[in-house]
Structure 1
Amino acid sequence: MLPSSGSTKNNKPPPQLTRFLVCGLGSLGQHCVAVLKDYGVAVSAIDLVLPQNWEIPELPNLLDDLVVGDCRQTSILEQVKIHECRSVLLVTNDERGNTEAAFAARLLNPHIRLILRSDKQNLNQLLSENLGNFVAFEPSQLSAAAFALAALDDQTLGYFNLEGQLLRVVKYQIKPGDRWCDRWWVYGLNTRNRRILSHTTNTAQLPKQFYEWEPEATVRAGDTIVYIEVAQLSSTAQPAKTHSTKQLPQAVSRTLKRHLQQQFSQFWQWMYQYQTRRVAVICGATVLTLLVGGTILFRWEYPIDWQTAFNATATLLLGGYGDLFGDIKPETPLSLGVQVFSLILALAGTAFIGVLYALLIEMLLTSRFHFRSRPPLPQQDHIVVIGLGRLSQRVATLLQEFKQSIVGISHTELDPGILPQMPLVVDNIANAFTKVHLENAKSAIVITEDDLENLEVGLMIHALNPQLGIVIHCYDQHFSDRVARLFPYAQVLCASALSAEVFAAAAFGENVLSLFHFNGTTVLVTEYIIAAGDTLNGLMLSEVAYGYGVVPLLYHHKHESARLMPAYETRLYVGDRLVVLATSHSLQRIERGELAPRHWQLRVEKVLYQDAIFDSANAIALISGCSLAIARQLMQNLPATLPQPLFYHQAQHLVHELSKVQVRAHLIQIVNND
């Protein structure tokens, strides 16, 4: 989950300010400039020393102003026209310098929005409360989720939380016999708790935007569906199996049997992990057997109760042979077998107590080392994390939160307090690969400090295990794109490029809650608070969704409870809260108010029965957004065409709803619509 900005669109400066300032032209700063320029705004930059090698070669030509100097100095900030800037992105590697520059910028421009690169969460929260119009991010926290999810190598593309509900993005390939296969249109898979994001066939190219799918296409085996759902309500694409009353006891029995087998397997692995544990278990089992056997024997041989027989046996095992038999009177009948067995109990008890003392002493002597020791290396279905810098550590932490088995590889020893529950191999890469059971691993993440080393390690892993999923980090976006095209079996991500999209969105006042990777595109979970003058104010959610290419996830009117997966017929007003899935391209269109053109019209041919006129008019007005009077007039003069143009998915939805009330209608494509 990404940190909240504490500020939304209604806090932003006047819209006429279209100049933005980037302080620091490292990898993150350069990508921030590139993303901002895609929004069509003026961008200035400040850096102490110009980069020797530009990661984005054309970047100097994209800048409107470039000043070499200290961004904390008033004179330098005035050179880049700080008074005309809407936002400043402080993304140098010096957190203290970023904070000082933020203070200087705010003193010169009281309305400027501050976007800070900083990992000091408590300070950032305090600054947000006191300064206002302020947000801080740490790049490793922004991009770590994308790396962790890419390494899972399963159906899950994204996880995030909204209003206490866990939502997940799932990629699922339809199999023969699935309940959806050959039975459903893609449109029909949308429910109150699910939204379709993408549908592709085996031969189709993966889309980069939402709604690039045919609503009335039939779901076939081999098709790939990407959808978002409320995870707590549905964890898989398949329907849950139900049991009849007769099957229930059998199901409970099978569940109990599996649970016992699992517990026994865990105990067996625990016992064989260390030799001392095996010795302790064997000794304990032997003593318990002797205790039970001795109790039964004494109860059988002598007229004593069970408690007395148990006490006699325990006394012998604790070395009390003399205490028990030293005062026995001669007339007491003692068989030779009982005496021999009693002596064996005493000797065995003495021996096992000695072993117990030895084990306790060993534990005491080695306890100061054991509390620092790491868990043993996993044998299978684990994720190998190579390179353990700040980003890698964050990725490993997320994987542990996802309950994944992981193992780390590092050139140097880590502090015991860093990821203490992660197994670690400290060695060179080649030797480490022979120890981490790479042949049985689920996937590998390569995040070292050098792009070429990341590529080399990735190629080594593929040579050792071609079936293994590989995630490679590259610092240079162009290098990353080339590697991704040449080696399609690897997922290649650039942390700076991922983080830059969040920084740029925040510069326009958007509150980015989370992000994930979708078909090679970064998708941002973005929150809006609708204000007067916003490009979203007054629109229906269908216009927002299809016009800007976003997926509405949550709608919250100030006097009502929040609704997940809201109906697209909802209209937005000032003060409403909206959370959407959006790409950077979609956010740019929202910022500029560039709605996609509407190329379709509704043609109503016939009503199968008169009572349907009333219901169909209501449906037309609700879904299309036209007035009820226009809809009723249309239905009274059939056949007729609705004059209001519609988006394709919106129009298909309307045709589908009209068919439910026995009204025949179809779509007409508008040619040369401006």
Structure 2
Amino acid sequence: MIVCGDDALAHRLAAELRQLYGEPVTLVVPQRTGHGARRPASPGPRGRRTSALLGRMTPAVARTAVVSDEPAVDVPLLEADEPDEEVLREAGVERAEALALVYDDDEINIRAALTARRLNPRLRLVIRLYNRKLGQHLEALLDQAAAVADPGIDPLVLDASTTVLSDADTAAPALAASAIAGTSKVVQADGLLLRAVERTPPGRGQVADEGLCTLALLSSTVNDPAGSEGSDGSGTVGPQLLPDARTVAAATGRGTVVLEAIAPASTSSPARRWRAPGVPLGSLFSRRLLWSVTGIGAAALGLAVSSWLATGGSPLHAGYLTLLDLFAIDDPAVAEPASRKVIQLFTGLIGLLLLPVLVAGVLEALGAFRSASALRRPPRGLSGHVVLLGLGKVGARVLARLLELGIPVVCVENDPQARGLTLARRLHVPVVLGDVAQEGVLEAARIHRAHALLALTSSDTTNLEAALYARSVKPDVRVSMRLYDDDFATAVYRTLRAAHPDAVTRSRSVSHLAAPAFGGAMMGRQILGAIPVERKVLLFAAVEVGGHRELEGRTVAEAFRPGSWRVLALDTSAPDHRTPDLATARSTGYQPADRPADLVWELPDGYTLQAQDRVVLAATRRGLAELLGRRSLSLRP
């Protein structure tokens, strides 16, 4: 297998394939120094060992990359600026089983995918692409090219020959859920939202609510401030994934992760706009201007009452005369009584005061309407919201997920050209433009009244600085940070937990959350999503039963392997009418949004799985690697 990329996702994916699936992997990464297509490595025993592992590289272009520290894994490494045809040939794409293109640049991935499909029509392609609509068209194009180039290819193999994924889409549910109390994990399947929530241990005499099923037992050190269950780092005590009923009953005093509910996803309409009904005056005019208008109005009303009492006429006529005097369009009251003259003078004075207030109101309204067409400001009195720091490709997906869940959000972004600003502008989400390091930026986002902070910029130091400042303003605010370095993430998490034991702290890595989905796709099966359970990851996958002796011909109870995998749902649609992508069928318009869901949940334990069935199962990474055996996944006859 070949992995081509330019960031941490490529290294994590190579480690995933090498460690969990036991696959031979070649890693293609940009050169670190110099210019040109490739940088040769110095010859020696290390170069010869790498060349022997790869079998088709010369020591001049081959190097060894350590893609994981625990345990250390060496894979052949090829340094190249871009995966052009020459580089792909040297990496062995013509004889490769699968190719992952996970560059951060969509154009590079597309160009390399077209070249690789021409060189090897049977190659399984996994492409990282941010543009979802373009990904659908590209997937169809590459599958069609494979079918034309090799008419004898198996249709089932063809369905899995090209997979387009987005690391932002894969990690967004977990990142968004980490900032929401009561909703810890969300995965979408066939237009449905699977919500997994953390349950505290039941008290004496209480019965634990297992929901649809228990996905995991949390660590026994979950209340230890120095523990590591909130970070992506390693630790000595971890959660227990996919336990059986006996283990759950015996684990007293431990929290659980439960698949609690399955609710229809609102995919037939755009993401919910978080906005109050109507147009609040507070968003158009400042408080000082509103108080000025109120004072002038009260004075005008008092003068109208005085005119009515002084002249003895009708109240309507008195109010009419007061308005004429207020706007300076009435005749001077020369022949009128003294009381009428005094009232007219005061009314004219109030009219003079009204003129600048009206001008100020018009200017403020114009400014407010102009900002409403661009970016909203956080409304006054806002509280209980989530402050989202960073509107890059990951931040934009997390923002959309939070809005789907109906969570109020205030965004903070330093780059006026960030791709997530377009989404925020369209959905009228309040945005504060500015550097979080500058004083007053987080205050403008109402951090002191916020429920949680999601720091998702590409800079570890910026995210840490925002988290520390938010904790200084509000010590109990829930904090979730995006950190790249695992050791740094673990150290930060433990320190913050020790300093603020009563506050929730989480550190997440996008590549850590996305790598399992890409790894599963490299093995030829569809990964619906990945949810974090403390520092581990639980996968949801759609698997064809046929060809898997661990599933075929077994009942649901017999197919359950504690700690490895568990069947959750059955796809009842006919094999010829099945949706190729359960995760995005509804949301992308692949099929009608009003079509009934084909997934049946809460299967009876006695149901026997047939070869033609397709099931949705929850699995650990190692369990999925064991289930997806190489003999049943080979693309070659």
- 138, 141, 151: which one aligns with 2:179: 151
Tell me how far apart the structure 1 counterparts of residues 246 and 537 of structure 2 sit (CA, whole Å).
23
Tell me how far apart the structure 2 counterparts of residues 323 and 446 of structure 1 sit (CA, whole Å).
59
Larger mean CA deviation between 380-389 and 497-506 belongs to 380-389
The answer for the alignment partner of 1:603 in structure 2 is: none
The answer for the alignment partner of 2:501 in structure 1 is: none
How far did 1:450 drift?
A: 3.8
Secondary structure of the residue aligned to 1:182 is coil
Counterparts of 1:506-525 in structure 2 under 5 Å?
A: 506-525=521-540
The answer for the alignment partner of 1:45 in structure 2 is: 27
- 96, 103, 109: which one aligns with 1:92: 103
The answer for the alignment partner of 1:136 in structure 2 is: 164
Q: Cα distance 1:361–1:108, how it changes in 2: closer, same or farther (>3 A)?
A: closer
Secondary structure of the residue aligned to 1:435 is helix
Counterparts of 1:351-370 in structure 2 under 5 Å?
A: 354=355, 357-359=358-360, 361-363=362-364, 366=367, 370=371
The answer for the alignment partner of 1:21 in structure 2 is: 2
- Is the aligned partner of 1:381 residue 2:381? no
2:535 corresponds to which letter in structure 1?
Answer: G
2:68 corresponds to which letter in structure 1?
Answer: I
Tell me how far apart the structure 2 counterparts of residues 438 and 321 of structure 1 sit (CA, whole Å).
45
2:24 corresponds to which letter in structure 1?
Answer: A
Secondary structure of the residue aligned to 1:553 is strand
Counterparts of 1:29-178 in structure 2 under 5 Å?
A: 29-37=10-18, 38-49=20-31, 56=68, 61-63=73-75, 65-69=76-80, 72-132=83-143, 133-152=161-180, 154-174=181-201
- 590, 602, 615: which one aligns with 1:578: 615
- Is the aligned partner of 1:277 residue 2:325? no
Q: Cα distance 1:470–1:349, how it changes in 2: closer, same or farther (>3 A)?
A: closer
1:475 corresponds to which letter in structure 2?
Answer: Y
- For 1:9-53, what per-residue CA distance to the aligned partner results, in whole angstroms no more than 9, with x for missing partners? xxxxxxxxxxx2112353111111111111122222333426999
Tell me how far apart the structure 1 counterparts of residues 215 and 611 of structure 2 sit (CA, whole Å).
28
Tell me how far apart the structure 2 counterparts of residues 288 and 164 of structure 1 sit (CA, whole Å).
58
2:205 corresponds to which letter in structure 1?
Answer: D
Q: Cα distance 1:78–1:369, how it changes in 2: closer, same or farther (>3 A)?
A: closer
Q: Cα distance 1:277–1:451, how it changes in 2: closer, same or farther (>3 A)?
A: same
1:157 corresponds to which letter in structure 2?
Answer: S
Counterparts of 1:453-532 in structure 2 under 5 Å?
A: 454-455=463-464, 458-459=467-468, 461-462=470-471, 465-481=474-490, 483-484=492-493, 487-488=496-497, 490-532=505-547
- Is the aligned partner of 1:422 residue 2:454? no
Tell me how far apart the structure 1 counterparts of residues 438 and 481 of structure 2 sit (CA, whole Å).
17
Q: Cα distance 1:101–1:435, how it changes in 2: closer, same or farther (>3 A)?
A: same
Tell me how far apart the structure 2 counterparts of residues 525 and 519 of structure 1 sit (CA, whole Å).
16
Q: Cα distance 1:283–1:25, how it changes in 2: closer, same or farther (>3 A)?
A: same
Tell me how far apart the structure 2 counterparts of residues 182 and 126 of structure 1 sit (CA, whole Å).
56
Tell me how far apart the structure 2 counterparts of residues 164 and 352 of structure 1 sit (CA, whole Å).
59
- Given that 1:55 and 1:478 are in contact with CA atoms closer than 8 Å, whether structure 2 keeps it comes out as no
- For 1:478-504, what per-residue CA distance to the aligned partner results, in whole angstroms no more than 9, with x for missing partners? 543454456546322121121111111
Tell me how far apart the structure 1 counterparts of residues 469 and 347 of structure 2 sit (CA, whole Å).
61
Tell me how far apart the structure 2 counterparts of residues 487 and 585 of structure 1 sit (CA, whole Å).
31
- Given that 2:243 and 2:563 are in contact with CA atoms closer than 8 Å, whether structure 1 keeps it comes out as no
How far did 1:570 drift?
A: 2.1
- 205, 210, 214: which one aligns with 1:196: 214
Secondary structure of the residue aligned to 1:480 is helix
Tell me how far apart the structure 2 counterparts of residues 539 and 395 of structure 1 sit (CA, whole Å).
39
Secondary structure of the residue aligned to 2:117 is helix
- Given that 2:189 and 2:528 are in contact with CA atoms closer than 8 Å, whether structure 1 keeps it comes out as no
The answer for the alignment partner of 1:640 in structure 2 is: none
- Given that 2:219 and 2:239 are in contact with CA atoms closer than 8 Å, whether structure 1 keeps it comes out as no
Secondary structure of the residue aligned to 1:467 is coil
Q: Any unmatched runs of 5+ in structure 2?
A: 34-62, 144-160, 223-236, 265-275, 499-504, 575-596, 632-637
Secondary structure of the residue aligned to 2:443 is coil
The answer for the alignment partner of 1:556 in structure 2 is: 571
Secondary structure of the residue aligned to 1:568 is coil
How far did 1:219 drift?
A: 9.6
Larger mean CA deviation between 108-117 and 444-453 belongs to 444-453
Larger mean CA deviation between 541-550 and 427-436 belongs to 427-436
- For 1:171-223, what per-residue CA distance to the aligned partner results, in whole angstroms no more than 9, with x for missing partners? 132576xxxx5142x4xx346xx322245696686523111664673897x65
Identify which of structures 1 and 2 has the higher relative contact order when contacts are C-alpha pairs closer than 8 Å and 6+ apart.
Answer: 2
2:452 corresponds to which letter in structure 1?
Answer: S
Tell me how far apart the structure 2 counterparts of residues 324 and 404 of structure 1 sit (CA, whole Å).
55
Q: TM-score, normalised by structure 1?
A: 0.64
Q: Cα distance 1:585–1:80, how it changes in 2: closer, same or farther (>3 A)?
A: same
How far did 1:511 drift?
A: 1.9
The answer for the alignment partner of 1:398 in structure 2 is: 401
Q: Cα distance 1:121–1:389, how it changes in 2: closer, same or farther (>3 A)?
A: closer
- Is the aligned partner of 1:229 residue 2:260? yes
Q: Cα distance 1:396–1:163, how it changes in 2: closer, same or farther (>3 A)?
A: closer
Q: Cα distance 1:158–1:428, how it changes in 2: closer, same or farther (>3 A)?
A: closer
The answer for the alignment partner of 1:619 in structure 2 is: none
Q: Give the number of the structure whose alpha-carbon radius of gyration is greater.
A: 1
1:47 corresponds to which letter in structure 2?
Answer: V
Tell me how far apart the structure 2 counterparts of residues 563 and 583 of structure 1 sit (CA, whole Å).
22
Larger mean CA deviation between 99-108 and 161-170 belongs to 161-170
- Given that 2:285 and 2:361 are in contact with CA atoms closer than 8 Å, whether structure 1 keeps it comes out as no
- Given that 2:564 and 2:624 are in contact with CA atoms closer than 8 Å, whether structure 1 keeps it comes out as no
Q: TM-score, normalised by structure 2?
A: 0.67
Tell me how far apart the structure 1 counterparts of residues 393 and 220 of structure 2 sit (CA, whole Å).
39
Tell me how far apart the structure 2 counterparts of residues 370 and 70 of structure 1 sit (CA, whole Å).
42
Tell me how far apart the structure 2 counterparts of residues 104 and 408 of structure 1 sit (CA, whole Å).
40
Tell me how far apart the structure 2 counterparts of residues 411 and 61 of structure 1 sit (CA, whole Å).
38
Tell me how far apart the structure 2 counterparts of residues 61 and 480 of structure 1 sit (CA, whole Å).
22
The answer for the alignment partner of 1:260 in structure 2 is: none
Counterparts of 1:235-250 in structure 2 under 5 Å?
A: none
- Given that 1:271 and 1:277 are in contact with CA atoms closer than 8 Å, whether structure 2 keeps it comes out as no
Aligned residues: 520
The answer for the alignment partner of 2:205 in structure 1 is: 182
Secondary structure of the residue aligned to 1:151 is coil
2:109 corresponds to which letter in structure 1?
Answer: N
- For 1:621-651, what per-residue CA distance to the aligned partner results, in whole angstroms no more than 9, with x for missing partners? xxxxxxxxxxxxxxxxxxxxxxxxxxxxxxx
- Given that 1:319 and 1:349 are in contact with CA atoms closer than 8 Å, whether structure 2 keeps it comes out as no
Tell me how far apart the structure 1 counterparts of residues 532 and 169 of structure 2 sit (CA, whole Å).
15
- Given that 1:295 and 1:310 are in contact with CA atoms closer than 8 Å, whether structure 2 keeps it comes out as no
Secondary structure of the residue aligned to 2:104 is coil
Tell me how far apart the structure 1 counterparts of residues 514 and 542 of structure 2 sit (CA, whole Å).
17
Larger mean CA deviation between 134-143 and 559-568 belongs to 559-568
- Given that 1:377 and 1:423 are in contact with CA atoms closer than 8 Å, whether structure 2 keeps it comes out as no
Tell me how far apart the structure 1 counterparts of residues 512 and 601 of structure 2 sit (CA, whole Å).
30
1:169 corresponds to which letter in structure 2?
Answer: A
Q: Any unmatched runs of 5+ in structure 1?
A: 1-19, 234-262, 595-674
- Given that 2:375 and 2:424 are in contact with CA atoms closer than 8 Å, whether structure 1 keeps it comes out as no
Q: Cα distance 1:219–1:28, how it changes in 2: closer, same or farther (>3 A)?
A: closer
Tell me how far apart the structure 1 counterparts of residues 246 and 515 of structure 2 sit (CA, whole Å).
32
How far did 1:345 drift?
A: 9.8
